[in-house]
Amino acid sequence: MPHKVLFVCTGNICRSPTAEGVARGLATQRGLEHLFEFDSAGTHGYHIGNPPDPRSIAAALRRGYDLAPLRARRVTEFDFIRFDRLLAMDREHLESLQRACPRAHQKKLGLFLDFSERFDEDEVPDPYYGGVQGFEHVLDLVEDAAAQLILQLSANRRETVPEIAPRTP
């Protein structure tokens, strides 16, 4: 049975679809896609049905990740049941998830950057109102955390897990 991970940000057009696309890409790159089911959603329904921000798509594509097919959606009650982990991009998202999540599923909630090893930051900053560098920084953070997430979750599998290195442009 695959590990089911939901990445969560505000509108599901920048950070969380980037995390979904990168995690899926890294798992596929290492032949581990069968061990995971990745998805993303927003705490708010501002952009339901829309693709990710064009700047997120462009930045991810430069590193080999295709976000274009993804569409924004809002977190639903069923997500707390369906997913093994719901990983928030920042504390505000985590608090929103904690308020909405049934008590029985609270242990599934966490901050995505808790998996990061290379960075001291604990929140993925919102690049929406900034320039290209913000989207590149998000990718740096997300690649590190996603690689570590995949390694940790697949470590208990009997299969050999190849080392995951972030892609370079």
Question: 99 catalytic, yes or no?
Answer: no
Q: How many residues are recorded in the chain? A: 169
Three-state secondary structure call for residue 9:
strand
- 3-state SS, residue 107: helix
CA dist., res. 150 & res. 164, Å (int): 9
Rounded Cα–Cα distance for residues 5 and 28 (Å): 15
9, 53, 73, 79: the active-site residue? 9
Report the distance separating Cα 139 and Cα 118, nearest Å.
13
Catalytic residue check, 101: no
Q: Which of 71, 85, 126, 140 is catalytic?
A: 126
Say if residues 124 and 89 touch (Cβ distance below 8 Å).
yes
Catalytic residue among 14, 15, 79, 144: 15
Tokens linked to 98: 């904690």
Can you read off the two tokens belonging to residue 123? 């929140």
Residues marked active site are found at 9, 15, 126
